[in-house]
Structure 1
Amino acid sequence: MKIAVQGCAHGDLDNIYATLLARQEAEKVKIDLLICCGDFQAVRNEKDLESLNVPGKYRKMNSFYKYYSGEKVAPCPTIFIGGNHEASNYLWELYYGGWAAPQIYFLGVAGVIKFGNVRIGGLSGIYKEHDYYLGHYEKLPYNEKDIRSIYHVREFDVHKLMQVEEPIDIFISHDWPQKIATCGNVKGLLRRKPFFEQEIEDGTLGSLAAAELLEKLKPSYWFSAHLHCKFSALIQHVENETVTKFLALDKCLPGHKFLQVLDIPSAVGPYEIQYDEEWLAITRKFNPAFPRTRRRANFSDAKLDIRDCRQFVRQKMQMRGGKPFQFIRTAPCYNPGHLVSMKYPSGHCRNPQTEALLQLLELQYFLDDTSAPDDLCQSRELFPSKGSLDFYSEDIPIDDVDEFDEET
């Protein structure tokens, strides 16, 4: 299996896919999967920019919206995690994972899926100690503090990943596992990034949570981004003499090392994305402990036996199969000649994919604090086909409105 790995995407899918296709043509190979390691920026329209924590000069539509609308289609299956520059409102709809666009799958805030027989896990966001033990308390519309904390890694999601027992082939995190720099060419790294020196000496460069997951899961490969440089390392696991191959890549810019194609051992294709049985069992067990306030998760609320959860999931997957639920648009698509109307809701929208997964697992919906779905978003029938989103939008020519201020 040939897997392309991308560092920070920053919404520049057109150039990433163009680079990938050029690589395929030059080397006469077929790339089976693209993995993006965060800062994906799945921005569907101008309204999503309000939940994107970036300086004003970087608050741009870029090109994801073309793939969301169906104007373009990803040339190969794409899996991504979230970083610290995301349309957090949209990714929150898909907290458990799901199709962000046709052929483009978000792994979730934490998640494990299968691509063919390759098992891929991931953790979105970046690690900040002061928010780590808090619950997922942020609610839309985000204030100035929440827009900066919504993407901080939480103990609850890491705890779920720590329950994984079956082998992981590939793991993805946005920031690097802590102390990973000492496992590679640290002198070469410091020549390119001399300001990392103090953090490397202190052992604080990177994510403590990711380091704990690396020690527990011991995947064959670990991919990261965030620090905008290419860096590789080998991690020797003393307990079982296995090795993790670590690779971090740069952001998508000319002359930067942002994309690499790897050969990953696997069964013969064709390949497709499938739910992972063990992960769905873990999700079923721990969802009752979902922390929706600032209070730390109470894991004693996860009372279900994991073996019973596994059997439950196995029976469900035998009945419906393991493919994720189909992609459904939940927001209007960006149109360069028109603005999204204020009728577009500023609060949480329940994504039908998420609702369907929770119904399958017979779990309660905890992603908002209401007892019923938002009337504007609850029905699949609002989105039967491409071009059916007039319900949301008003035709407002760009020339008739004030220019956006850089900081808004």
Structure 2
Amino acid sequence: METQPYEPRFAARTQRIQASTIREILKLTQSPGFISFAGGLPAADLFPLERIAEATQHILRDQGAQALQYSTTEGYPPLRAWVAQRLPRTAPEQVQIVSGSQQGLDLIGKVLIDPGARVLVEAPTYLGALSAFNPYEPEYVSLPIDEEGLEPGALEAALQAGAARFLYVMPTFQNPSGRLMGLKRRQALVELARKYRVLIVEDDAYAELYFSGRPLPTLYALDQELGGGNVIYLSTASKTLAPGLRVAWVVGPGPVIQKITHAKQGADLHSPTLNQMLVYELVKEEAWYQGQIQRIRTTYQARCAWMLEALQRHMPKEVGWHTPQGGMFFWLTAPEGLDSLELLRRAVEEKTAFVPGQPFFADGSGKNTLRLSYSSASHEEIEEGIKRLGRAMKRMLVV
């Protein structure tokens, strides 16, 4: 049977839609004995399965017809009210429930990005955001980060160089670097964005995953103190309950949220009502929810410590890393000249995997960087996997 020439039939934008590096790597790691630090997967052993089962039965028994029927695009009203109540000076009408933060990013790209529009991103930045924005043909401007995150001087220089549609930033335990932006940096970013009249898109997926200390105020909260209207905020239930529920939210100025709602109507009509109602049933019991979050924090802190100890034992001295204060990731930097894609091939031979750093850079740099996730691994897997990775790294550096 002759193959149809489909390539000419695809829209031009599909050339900018590439397979997810992380998703492709995950396919390699299904064989027995493989240890993967690639996927940023929440720990499945921490999913509140019994609580979810009980809540689901309760919803289906008492509100089954509503839970399984079509619903409004904006989302389940009690859940929207719960989100709004946790944010300063925010009305439920400013909350749009979405099918995971990834859909939120796609809808933001759809309503804000024209071909050639400048979008400011950190270097590195979240790969999923680049995947969501790419089809809308932005012109990325990559801004450097240091131990405290995005450098305000670099942001101001970029804003002086020309108008930008928005700044996309992940200030709390950034994926992939794990960095936590300090309070002064956060204040400086908000003030600069207001000064130059550029929107900030704040991705707060890891907001609850502090190991210790008091959480810093979000950029959204700091902007609200100055009058509000300049930050679009995203967060999710994926990291505290279960990612398969695909329940997240976008919060922002009324006109922006209205456009996102209209875009969502064309995408999927609404997020699953049952899932939204289930999330609300879980989070409305604040004492239980905070206990669930604390269980996750304690577990991730221990796994992070195990990985730190393994890195110190098994990594070559030429390799450096950022030690996170929360979140799910270590970010490693190898000597210049080491290609982490080639390292991945050698690591796969050792039956271990990670995510090469280059796809997290909009400008294509970062070949000598890599991301490791500790959230889903046991003590034994972390020790053995880092030993294997160290062995592969040492072979490359000797050459």
TM-score, structure 1 length as denominator? 0.27
Q: Identify which of structures 1 and 2 has the higher relative contact order when contacts are C-alpha pairs closer than 8 Å and 6+ apart.
A: 2
